[in-house]
Structure 1
Amino acid sequence: MSDDTPSYGFDTLQIHAGARPDPATGARQTPIYQSTAYVFRDADHAAALFNLQEVGYIYSRLTNPTVAVLQERIATLEGGVGAVCCSSGHAAQIMALFPLMQPGCNVVVSTRLYGGTVTQFSQTIKRFGWSAKFVDFDDLDAVKAAIDDDTRAVFGEAIANPGGYIMDVRAIADIADAAGIPLIIDNTTATPYLCRPIEHGATLVVHSTTKYMTGNGTVTGGCVVDSGKFDWMASDKFPSLSQPEPAYHGLKFAETFGPLAFTFHGIAVGLRDLGMTMNPQGAHYTLMGIETLSLRMERHVENAEKIAKWLEADDRVDFVTYAGLESSPYYSRIKDVCPKGAGALFTFAVKGGYEACIKLVDSLEIFSHVANLGDTRSLIIHSASTTHRQLTPEQQEAAGAAPNVVRVSIGTEDADDLIADLDQALAKATA
């Protein structure tokens, strides 16, 4: 597409951004470039690529033409200047933190996060010498108080997994800006169709492209989108970006690449050394999925609203956390943060507690019992016994994954069929 692609609408960009007919064959669909390495024109060309003096393809751990199209498409949809795709959503989180953190540094994170993220931040990153401070992001004073001289980022989810709680991205972004540190937003559950965190002040956006971006449960993948708006040279907190890089003869990423500093570092250092590479076939599946993202999200939201209202009115259900319900404390945030809808992920509490939840999950016929979300198929899981089982009871409660709660990811099937399936399963679970 031409240089003025941002003037196009979302539905056009989700199909065309980053993609051009293949110059060799004229193929209209982006080819799968299943190649490990790429031939250099000559020795000078090779040297220029390795010195970061020229952009091109060297080795598929770093760059691949199919993956490059996906990176440009996601960056365009999110309103960023660049993106780096990688092997999974968890890989994207480490890739986002890697240029920012040093041993002894910390990240302030929301208590309302996917259970695997809580574990990654509370346990695994300690092995890098990093630490995380968990804070209720609805308590803005607590967020401010948690930031100290060693804090290098703030991290939260636009629509939190599992409860579907909507974060006040702008309020948290203002706190991060005042502290001179970046805000990282996991936008997996919302997608750029429902929420564009960069427009609300986020510095970086991460995705598990495994979920709604691909939309069909076929491949894993992750992505880090760079807003290009953060001044990495404003302080000495981010030496990986502002100070000379020994591996590139003293090159300073922020000085050399300006708004694209984080993106280039993610490829030239992050993928080079961490090796969390997305494979080209996975990128191809995700590109095809994104072509229908807006259509799918509209149906996901429509179904979720109908089913959440039905559940809320059912006597066998204690409560429903869907932010699209007027009873939700997060309902007022929808028009500002997610104007096209509150997503399709939420939880509900079953009367009868833990055992009733297990019976419910085992009795469903259309809903699939899987550890995933964002599929065209409707999915369910009992988080306390699966995705969040490694957490303490207090952490489960804070994350919205108490023992009496199940998480649903509403798909694009007929909503009445889904309601009938829930009805018969609830009857068995609460008999």
Structure 2
Amino acid sequence: MTESTGFTTRQVHIADETVSAEPRALPIYLTAGFRFTDVEHSADHFGTGAGFGYSRTGNPTVDAVERRLASLEGGDQAILVASGQAAVVCALLSLLSSGDHLVAATQIYEGTRGAIIHNLERLGIETTFVDATSIDEWRAAIRPNTKAFFAESLSNARNDVLDVAAVSGIGDERGIPLIVDSTFTTPYLLRPIEHGAAVVVHSASKFLAGQGSVLGGVIVDDGRFDAAKSGHLYPHLTTADRLGGPSYAEKYGRRARGQYIRESVVPRLGPTPSPLNAFFIGQGIETLSLRVERQSANALAVAEWLAARPEVVGVDYVGLPSHPHHALAERYLPRGSGSVFTFTLAGGKAAASHIAESVEIITHMTHLGDVRSLILHPASTSHAGRTEAEREEAGVFPGTLRVSIGIEDVDDLLRDLGRAFDSLPASTPQREVVVL
């Protein structure tokens, strides 16, 4: 291209090729598409999926973060998407079709529950909700058309621990995969695939990114799809394509489910992650273990402090020996019990509102997994769409507050809470203290 080329042409094309370099940090490929060297190159990409052609179907920045997450989670492959909600929905739609049946835990995020009740149901997918902690309920809920189990590793808000091995074992008897939302535990604290789960999802906006600035989600497949055992449940994985070509199972073997998510579900539904967001998630992952370790230690100290306050009638933190699932947590979460939990005040909503509005270091907002400590009133926010009975079943009462503990100096967090508690009106109810 010469200087005689037109101004507008030059402003678009001049210097659009950078000098080759080897950056130490993950580079951001912020581009919609990629050059092909020739027609054969483009045909090979569209035929095999190799390389990169368009960022909706693959991007080097996104790919690097996916490979890192697959390794940390102990899975075969990871697919990064635009949000945690997209990860859940895409994982479910990779297995479920109209007329199918899903068994899901009652103790799940309200956004997921809403998607199941209001969206999947409208598509002809029926769901039975069960108590995540009842192995008998999981088994009894199975039908001939059941195609998936879904649960969270650590529930919001009661901190119920999922017995991953037991629940996945029940599904495995029928070839039914368990999908686990492991956002609260992260791969540093728990890797569900190692205990039998088939698919793991995360809201990468939370602990994986860590800084609270970007949205993202991830689906991790175990790469253990068994067509002989489960193929009859998933004809979309075992039948030839519309042109008579090989099925996903024939092309990819045990990787068929993950490849179907990557090639047929995510790019067609379109929850494409921004390469910039992928970069920030990748940066966050580099300090994941350090943050989660600190957050878990801080959370335990805060939970112990809250449990000793007379204004608090209950602390649902599985790291406390008083929690009914503490022994199960010691088995599944030896590195720490996470940093998201609830506590309930005897003074009801008035007392909870006072605490949420009086803390200064702890931020009042809807999010979790941040380096900053956060607080929220679930009954009027995250669980507002449930009936009072459903909220109580989930451990959410008018006086319940949810906290996500960050990496701050724990003494500062305790002082912040102490100031808020000490400023409660003198008439605020307290639990009865039994003197022996």
1:31-110 equivalence runs, <5 A = 31-51=27-47, 53-110=48-105
Partner of 1:272: 267
Partner of 2:225: 230
Partner of 1:125: 120
8 Å contact kept, 2:104–2:129: yes
Deviation at 1:430, TM superposition (A): 5.0
1:184-199 equivalence runs, <5 A = 184-199=179-194
Cα distance in 1 for partners of 2:164, 2:24 equals 38
Partner of 1:405: 400
8 Å contact kept, 1:84–1:223: yes
Aligned-residue RMSD, C-alpha: 1.6
Change (3 A) 1:41 1:399: farther
Instruction: Please give the per-residue CA displacement for 1:95-142, whole angstroms capped at 9, x wherever unaligned.
Output: 101121110112111111112122122222222221221100211111
Which of these residues, 319, 340, 353, is aligned with residue 335 of structure 2? Answer: 340
Cα distance in 2 for partners of 1:392, 1:150 equals 29
Deviation at 1:151, TM superposition (A): 1.1
Cα distance in 1 for partners of 2:326, 2:199 equals 25
State yes or no: 1:30 paired with 2:26: yes
1:295-314 equivalence runs, <5 A = 295-314=290-309
Structure 2 stretches of 5 or more lacking a match?
Answer: 1-17, 427-436
Change (3 A) 1:226 1:430: farther
State yes or no: 1:174 paired with 2:155: no
Cα distance in 2 for partners of 1:106, 1:23 equals 54
Relative contact order, CA 8 A, sep 6+: which one is greater? 1
**Residue 220 of structure 1: SS of its match in structure 2?**
coil
8 Å contact kept, 1:324–1:334: yes
Runs of 4+, deviation exceeding 6 Å: none
Partner of 1:316: 311
State yes or no: 1:251 paired with 2:246: yes
**Residue 423 of structure 2: SS of its match in structure 1?**
helix
Tell me the amino acid that sits aligned with residue 397 of structure 1.
E
Partner of 2:178: 183
8 Å contact kept, 1:215–1:289: yes
Tell me the amino acid that sits aligned with residue 370 of structure 1.
M
Structure 1 stretches of 5 or more lacking a match?
Answer: 1-21
Deviation at 1:23, TM superposition (A): 10
8 Å contact kept, 1:233–1:254: no
Which of these residues, 411, 419, 425, is aligned with residue 414 of structure 2? Answer: 419
1:156-167 equivalence runs, <5 A = 156-167=151-162
Partner of 2:256: 261
Partner of 1:288: 283
Cα distance in 2 for partners of 1:190, 1:106 equals 27
**Residue 80 of structure 2: SS of its match in structure 1?**
strand
Deviation at 1:233, TM superposition (A): 4.4
**Residue 223 of structure 1: SS of its match in structure 2?**
strand
Cα distance in 1 for partners of 2:202, 2:314 equals 29
**Residue 386 of structure 2: SS of its match in structure 1?**
coil
8 Å contact kept, 1:114–1:399: no
Deviation at 1:44, TM superposition (A): 2.2
Change (3 A) 1:256 1:426: same
8 Å contact kept, 2:225–2:256: no
When normalised by structure 1's length, the TM-score is 0.92
Cα distance in 2 for partners of 1:23, 1:169 equals 49
Cα distance in 2 for partners of 1:23, 1:161 equals 49
When normalised by structure 2's length, the TM-score is 0.91
